[in-house]
Amino acid sequence: MSNFTRRSFLASSAALIAGASLPARAQAVALTGIDWGGPLIEATRKITAGDKAVDITWDLHAGGAGTVLPKIKAAWPNPKYDIVAAWNPVYVTMINEEWLEPLTPDEIPNLKDVPSEYFFKDKSGAIVNVPRSLAGMFWGYRSDKAPVKVEKIEQLFDPKLKGQICWPGPSINSNLQLLSLALSAGGNEKNMEPGWELLKKLAKSGNIGRVANTETDFINSMSTGETSVAFWNMSPWKKVSANFPIKVLTRVPDEKGMKAFMYQDGWVVLKSSKQKKAAMDYLNFFISPENNQEFNAMLGQGTTNRKSKSTGFAENIAFKPDELAKYAYFPDFTLLAAQLNDTVKRFETEIVPLM
């Protein structure tokens, strides 16, 4: 008994704990993934903590998800990623590049509970994405800061809003912000000219105070009160709404431009992955009814698994069938993705000089 000291007790306990955890750790398959930063990676990590079968090293998208494309291209056929978090326009480019592994409900059984409209398919018609969230991008404002109660696109030009608008950069959000202006002026994805004309007018008005290129830019700008009106997607809006009163403009009657622009984000498995089976098992775990619900509750986004429920901030885009046509807009991301190069150049040459 005299040999049993506090130190030896701690040492043997530590050895026991380490020994007990070794088998589980040894079985965990190492994967590398990339996701958006901020609230998204926080939520992803929390869900992933429940899957002991994988040990994932995470990278973060540097701004928009499109920034991962050059990284994969440069390293192809040996990019380091097994799984990539992406969304509609990025899926399109990845499909064009033929990088995505076909996925089936046999490999990922929970896909059976995901509505077929959320799937992206490759040239052979195979599913290539695992949808995890239904989300929207929309206009909104800080009701304690904005000098105008914005309810129409034309109010964005109000001189009282000088420097108050946080405008997403042209490569962000697939430029849905421009589409919102275009729709308001009678245009659409095929005819964005009316949107460009309105954007020139907006740039000249001096009302754009910041062109935000990341979620952090948007959250900082809105939180510090630098700007008070913005167009952005759900989880950053939820983050801002946690501290400030936010008026979300997803149910604006009689305004063609102020819609909830619907999209979904999710996962893809790269063809180059050496751990496809583990990656697919993980994604199956990720979109199980419970995990899909918990993940989206954290982010305030809509669920993609039929057996999960959307709650909280997601109510902003939880439209009843009769509201869908009025308030929701499902953009043609293929058309928008094809225009992205020209859009960025036009923004640089025609809009920035006016600001």
Partner 1 sequence: MSAPRGRGLLLPAIAVVVVLLVAPLILVGDESVRLFEPGHVGSARDAPLTLDNYRELFRPAYARYFADTFRLSLIASLAALVLAYPIAYKVAREHRPRVRRAWIAFLVVMLFLSILIRVYAVSLAVGPAGFGSALAALLGLSLNSRGYAEISILLGLLHCLIPMAAIVLLAPLQALNPRLVEAAQALGAPMWKAHATITLPLSARGLLAAFMLCFTFSISAFVIPMVLGKGRVLFVSNLIYSRFGEIGNYPGGAALSITLLALSLIVVYALDRAAGSRWRKP
**Under rule CB under 8 A, residue 339 binds partner 1:** yes
Which residue lies nearer to partner 1 by CB, 104 or 341?
341
Smaller CB separation from partner 1, 52 or 73: 73
Q: Name which of 27 and 96 has its Cβ closer to partner 1.
A: 96
**Two tokens at 124?**
């052979």
Q: With the C-alpha atoms ordered 83, 36, 116, 173, is the resulting torsion angle positive or negative? A: negative
- Among positions 32, 85, 181, 210, the unique one binding partner 1 when judged by CB under 8 A: 210
Taking the least distance from each CB to partner 1, the nearer of 72 and 297 is: 72
Report the residue from 211, 258, 260, 299 that binds partner 1 according to the rule CB under 8 A.
211
Residue 39 in the binding site for partner 1 (CB under 8 A): no
Burial of 233 (0-12, 13-18, 19+ CB in 10 A): buried
77-106 binders of partner 1 (CB under 8 A): 92-93, 96-97
Piece of the chain touching partner 1 by CB under 8 A; list 13-21, 182-190, 210-218, 252-260? 210-218
Please pick, from the candidates 38, 66, 131, 187, the single residue that binds partner 1 as defined by CB under 8 A: 66
- 125 touching partner 1, by CB under 8 A: no
At residue 171's C-alpha, the angle toward residues 130 and 214, to 5°, is 80
Which 261-300 positions form the footprint of partner 1 (CB under 8 A)?
none
Question: CA–CA separation, 40 vs 214, rounded Å?
Answer: 13
Residue 213, SS3 per DSSP: coil
In terms of CB distance, is 67 or 155 closer to partner 1? 67
Residue 209 engages partner 1 in binding (rule: CB under 8 A): yes
Residue 162 interacts with partner 1 (CB under 8 A): yes or no:
yes
Does position 164 bind partner 1 by CB under 8 A? yes
Q: Is 236 left (phi over 0), alpha (psi -120 to 50) or beta?
A: alpha
DSSP 30-48: EEEEEE-STHHHHHHHHHH
DSSP per-residue string spanning 16-84: HHHHHHHHHHHHPEEEEEEE-STHHHHHHHHHHTT-TTEEEEEEE-SSSGGGHHHHHHHHTTS-S-SEE
Which of 28, 60, 69, 126 is close enough to bind partner 1 by CB under 8 A?
A: 69
Applying CB under 8 A, the residues found at the interface with partner 1 are: 62-64, 66-67, 69-70, 72-73, 92-93, 96-97, 162-164, 167, 169, 171, 206, 208-213, 217, 220, 224-227, 337-342, 344-345, 348-350, 352-353, 355
